[in-house]
Amino acid sequence: MGYFKTEDLAVGYDGQVLIHDISIQIEKGTILTLIGPNGAGKSTILKSITRHLTKLGGMVYIGGREVYAWSAREMARQVAVVLTDRIRPELMTCGEVVAMGRYPYTNALGKLTETDKRIVRQALERVHALELEERDFATLSDGQRQRIMLARAICQQPQVIVLDEPTAYLDIRHKIELLDILREMAREQRVTVVMSLHEIDLAMKISDYLLCVKGDTVARFGPPEELFAGGEIDRLYEIEHGSYNLLFGSVELTRPEGAPQVFVVGGGGFGVPCYRALQKQQVPFATGVLFENDVDFQVARELSDHVYAAPAFEPAGEALCRAAEQALLRAGAVIDAGTPVAVFNRMNGRLLELAREKGLRVYRGWKGWQGKESGV
């Protein structure tokens, strides 16, 4: 049976159900991430789990016990919460904010023992914020504040930690550090992590389970590897322009439309900077001859309808090469991405020769192309 479990959970505001029939379960020490578009209800679900918002139906269990039956103190010992709602404690140092995480364990006067103080310092160290201990919390940047709130949650030594968009204000280094800390807590202390993230690529990499929130019930739940086949992310977020590449975990912006104005002879990753330069200028292009296991293919197919590619591990057939030649001649201009021509892509050497024979302009890489654009 799952350690963290919801059964027919219904959430919403003022008695109006927003999302219903949320039934999921995960084991202790695993990471569950809620993903989905803005306004889908991720925060609403998280707040209903932590009892900041009263659930409208169903059950939430941790370790087999219904969370809504717990005392506030028990809740605070079991579940640490890092929400995005601005807390702006007046005149408190960061050390004092972090120490609030120890209150479920202190006596009625809230006096910290030496052990509590040690735990506070360790938590500050863990988030690389020891130097902020004496600083006034109100003067911190959003990113620093986020790390202090995580330290407070760590201090609480919870069984479950719930975080709403914990990476929102962090730069890339601190995003990676925060996710590493969560993974370590899950692995070493068997803490169960339930959070929301907007960075799908990071969500896929860190999570044991994803919950896709969209519509009036949750769209999907399961391990990231099982959830998404091609195009699923585009559908979840209703991406109409641009696209999300699942393999790379990266976003491509809106593809240029129209008849190709240039043919990129690419392969081996040399094409990618050319494709991106053309996308920025919204210049439609054709490209080839690629292989479908080539990194260039992954980006090219998101940005062009005219990609000449052979199946992985198979030679490029004559028909494909002829079609690429015709496309090159139609485009009337060529970018030589700089891919070395060797045994298995010698057809690309032929394409470049053909371009020269026919007197087409051949630009050297994306810089050559941009030089042309800027009149150099």
Ligand X SMILES: Nc1ncnc2c1ncn2[C@@H]1O[C@H](COP(=O)(O)OP(=O)(O)OP(=O)(O)O)[C@@H](O)[C@H]1O
Query: Which of residues 13 and 344 has its CB atom nearest to ligand X in the complex?
Result: 13
CB of 322 to ligand X, least distance (A): 49
Q: Which stretch binds ligand X (CB under 6 A): 38-46, 62-70, 86-94, 120-128?
A: 38-46
Residue 309 CA, chain-centre distance (Å), reads: 29
Is residue 38 involved in binding ligand X (CB under 6 A)? yes
* Exposure b/e, 337-369, CB count within 10 A at least 16 = b: bbbebeeebebbebbbeebeeeebeebebbebb
Least Å from the CB of residue 85 to ligand X: 10
List C-alpha distances in Å: 86 to 164, 212, 358. Answer: 12, 25, 65
Given candidates 44, 48, 157, 243, which one binds ligand X under the rule CB under 6 A?
Answer: 44
Which residue number, 43 or 339, has a Cβ lying nearer to ligand X?
Answer: 43
Decide if residue 83 touches ligand X (CB under 6 A).
no
Tokens coding 309:
């590619």
Question: Contact between 215 and ligand X (CB under 6 A)?
Answer: no
Residues 6 or more apart from 71 whose CB is under 8 A from it? none
Q: Residue written as tokens 């929301």?
A: 196
Q: Is 50 in the site for ligand X (CB under 6 A)?
A: no
CB of 219: closest distance to ligand X in angstroms? 12
13 makes contact with ligand X (CB under 6 A): yes
Residues pairing with 336 in the sheet = 265, 364
CB of 196 to ligand X, least distance (A): 6
What CA–CA distances, in Å, run from 146 to 59, 140, 169, 258, 336?
A: 30, 9, 7, 46, 47
Judged by CB, which is closer to ligand X: 162, or 309? Answer: 162
And the tokens for 208? 């044991």
Residue of 9, 24, 30, 41 interacting with ligand X (CB under 6 A): 41
Q: Which is nearer to ligand X, 43 or 157 (CB)?
A: 43
Identified binder of ligand X from the candidate list 17, 18, 176, 295, rule CB under 6 A: 18
In the bound state with ligand X, the residue whose beta carbon lies nearer, of 39 and 371, is 39
Q: Is 140 in the site for ligand X (CB under 6 A)?
A: no
Token look-up 């690529």 returns 201
Tell me: does residue 216 bind ligand X (CB under 6 A): no
Region binding ligand X by CB under 6 A among candidate stretches 39-47, 204-212, 231-239, 307-315? 39-47
| Straight-line distance from the first to the last Cα atom of the chain, in angstroms, rounded to the nearest whole number | 68
Q: Is 42 a binder of ligand X (CB under 6 A)?
A: yes
Q: Judge residue 197's burial from the number of C-beta atoms within 10 Å of its C-beta, 0-12 exposed, 13-18 middle, 19 or more buried.
A: buried
Q: Which of 32, 44, 81, 40 is nearest to 204 (CA)?
A: 32
145 binds ligand X (CB under 6 A): no
The answer to the question of residue 43 lying near ligand X (CB under 6 A) is yes
The CA-atom distances, in angstroms, between 320 and each of 86, 269, 316, 317 are 58, 20, 6, 5
Given the rule CB under 6 A, which of 36-44, 86-94, 276-284, 315-323 is the region that contacts ligand X?
36-44
Please tell me the number of Cα atoms within 13 Å of 13 on its side-chain side.
Answer: 4
For ligand X, give the closer residue by CB, 218 or 355.
218
Cα distance between residue 43 and residue 195, in whole Å: 9
33 binds ligand X (CB under 6 A): no
Residues that bind ligand X (CB under 6 A): 13, 18, 36, 38-44
